[in-house]
Amino acid sequence: MTTVQRIVIAGASMGGLRAAERLRAAGFTGEIVAIGDETHLPYNRPPLSKEALASGVTHEAVAFRLRPAVADVTWRLGVPIVAADLARRAVRLADGSELTFDGLVVATGMRARRLPMPEPARGRHVIRTIEDASALCDELRPDGNMLVVGAGFIGCEIAATARRLGVVVTVVAPDTVPMWRPLGEELGAALQRRHEEQGVRFLLRRTVNRFLGETRVTGAELSDGTLVNADVVVEAVGSSSNTEWLDGNGLDLSDGVLCDNALRVEGHASVVAVGDVARFPNPRYDEVARRVEHWSIPTDTARRAATTLLAGLRLAGHDPAPFAPLPTFWSDQYDLRIQSFGAPALGTGDIRVLEGDLDGEVAVGYHRDGALVGVVLIGLPAAALRYRTRLMQTTA
């Protein structure tokens, strides 16, 4: 067997950590270098819009435990990769240094998208990093006015957290109901009612024309002329893939990094991708390559990508089994625990209540061509394993 000296992991968040763990678990004993743009060791991001935002944000509170197996991994933090030459197997860092590799794991993830309105800048926030959450936490005041732009899961989680702190919250979005794309009209409307019962005001089917204020935001003018007062604005308008550093290598970077089902980056046996930057086909549903921004995906993809990379480097055998993960995530809003299994967004044309009631605890099923492809639970914790098992059986 060929002796491999170094694997570089581009990205030092959850996906990068899980990739390092799985490479060691698969028997790789060479050097692993994980490179990240943040100065922190890997940490858990979901709490940043929920409990950490409410209680104060520290790295210690959200940091992942580093297992003994990755104690010898080299973490190069605060100096991102700015370019890669895959033919030469080399990456260039922001400090001008270059690092060669035998294998490369792309785990650079996403960044929060900003609205294309440069001024006023003060008082406007996104949530992606510890620093983002800490800056927002410092500005939350009871009876203050917050404008949340975007009614997806992040926007609604932040709205719920702020309301519990006594902040007056208005949510603006172009959608007909909050969380419409992943959940559909009926469940989105039911969750909107729950937010409204907590005092959140929704201004839907509208966008922001401009922000008001000179050096600091004081509000916004909406597309219908409505003026909204705001001491604080949160832009929860989606995310963009961190792939610019891979430009010039002939890759399809139109939406993340295109991979095959084994997470091999097209045309490169020594390069794999993990986490929400990886766009791959999941035969559980079809052969369309998609990115998946679910909490379970970094762990699932890292497990398979490690095997694929070591096989490409001739350090392990090829795994012939299809890679067919079942995506899962959860969202906490007030006292609600929302759990999602599978791919509800693929079945929003055929949505059925499986048990319970939309205004209480409920299980909602999402179907494509009559087959169950996703389930969303509000409450009903005892039903989670049952529906997860059903999805594993019906969509594989």
Contact 92, 82 (CB under 8 A): yes
The per-residue pLDDT for range 33-54, each reduced to its tens digit, is: 999 999 999 999 988 888 878 8
CATH topology of domain 6-46+64-111+240-312: FAD/NAD(P)-binding domain (3.50.50)
pLDDT at 74: 97
pLDDT of 1 above 50: no
The H or E element that residue 333 is part of is strand 328-333
H/E segment holding residue 368:
strand 362-368
pLDDT tens string 362-379: 999 999 999 999 999 999
Q: Give me the pLDDT at residue 2, please.
A: 55
The share of the chain scoring above pLDDT 70, in percent, equals 98
The pTM of the full predicted model, rounded to 2 decimals, is 0.94
Two tokens at 299?
A: 């762990």
Q: For 59-71, give the secondary structure using H, E and C.
A: HHHHECCCCHHHC
How do 351-356 and 232-235 pair as beta strands? unpaired
Beta carbons of 11 and 41 less than 8 angstroms apart: no
For residue 19, what pLDDT band results from cuts at 50, 70 and 90? very high
pLDDT digits (tens, 9 = 90+) for 143-197: 899 999 999 999 999 999 999 999 999 999 999 999 999 999 999 999 999 999 9
Instruction: Judge whether residue 236 has pLDDT over 80.
Output: yes
Residue 23: per-residue pLDDT:
97
Inter-residue contact 251 to 258 (CB < 8 Å): yes
Whether residue 229 is predicted with pLDDT greater than 90 in this model: the reply is yes
Q: Is the dihedral of CA 7, 12, 16, 17 positive or negative?
A: positive
Q: HSE-up of 387 (CA within 13 Å, CB side)?
A: 29
What pLDDT score was predicted for residue 220?
Answer: 97
334 vs 296: CA distance, rounded Å: 23
Reading the block at residue 181, the tokens are 């794309």
Is 350 exposed, middle or buried, given 0-12, 13-18 or 19+ CB atoms closer than 10 A? Answer: middle
Q: Establish whether domains 6-46+64-111+240-312 and 114-237 are of one fold.
A: yes
**Residue 37: how many other CB atoms lie within 10 Å:** 21
* Superfamily classification of domain 114-237: FAD/NAD(P)-binding domain (3.50.50.60)
Quick one: fold of 335-394?
A: Enolase-like; domain 1 (3.30.390)
Report d(CA 165, CA 356) in Å as an integer: 30
3-class secondary-structure state, position 251: coil
Over residues 304-323, mean pLDDT: 94
Q: Dump pLDDT digits (tens) for 48-74.
A: 888 878 877 789 989 999 999 999 999
Residue 295: band (very low, low, confident or very high) from pLDDT cuts 50, 70, 90? confident
- Average pLDDT (203-215) is 96
Residues 313-339 have a mean pLDDT of: 93
Domain range summary for the chain, segments of one domain joined by +: 6-46+64-111+240-312, 114-237, 335-394
Residue 313 has pLDDT above 70, yes or no: yes
